Amino acid sequence: MYQPNPASEFRVKFDFRVDFTNGGDVEGHDFLLDLERADVSDAELARMIVEAMNLARAGPVRISRKRVVRRGLHDDTVPPGRHAPGG
């Protein structure tokens, strides 16, 4: 099961769409998940998305613009003067 790891060296930044078996969908853009190694297959990433978001009745998952980055070497922080969602 996917578990976030704030100490991980790598993260994957990607766009996705999950279609639900009972209708509807959810999309994410520039989504970030922690990785334990420097690569991840689309199938592994699809499983991680469903587990991380606890998506019941998830159907097909489409991944696009996938890029593995080292933590801290990409734009994953909230710009000064802006608040993180929910903050």
- Render pLDDT for 24-65 as a digit per residue (tens, 0 to 9): 999 999 999 999 999 999 999 999 999 999 999 999 999 999
2 phi and psi angles, rounded to 5 deg:
-65, 135
**What letter does residue 78 receive in the DSSP assignment?**
P
In 3D space, the residue among 68, 47, 72 whose CA is nearest the CA of residue 58 turns out to be: 47
The per-residue pLDDT for range 1-33, each reduced to its tens digit, is 899 999 999 999 999 999 999 999 999 999 999
Tell me if 31 is assigned to some domain. Answer: yes
Q: What is the pLDDT of residue 87?
A: 45
Q: What radius of gyration do the chain's Cα atoms show?
A: 14
**Alpha carbons 10 and 86: distance in angstroms, whole number:** 25
Percent of the chain with pLDDT over 90: 78
Residue 31 Rama label (left phi>0; alpha psi -120 to 50; beta): beta
Number of domains in the chain: 1
The verdict on residue 4 lying in a domain is no
Residue 32 within a domain: yes
Span between the terminal Cα atoms of the chain, in Å: 27
52 belongs to a structural domain: yes
pTM value is: 0.79
Confidence of residue 74 (pLDDT cuts 50, 70, 90): low
Classify residue 46: in a domain, yes or no: yes
Residue 35 lies in a domain: yes
Domain residue limits at 35: 10-70
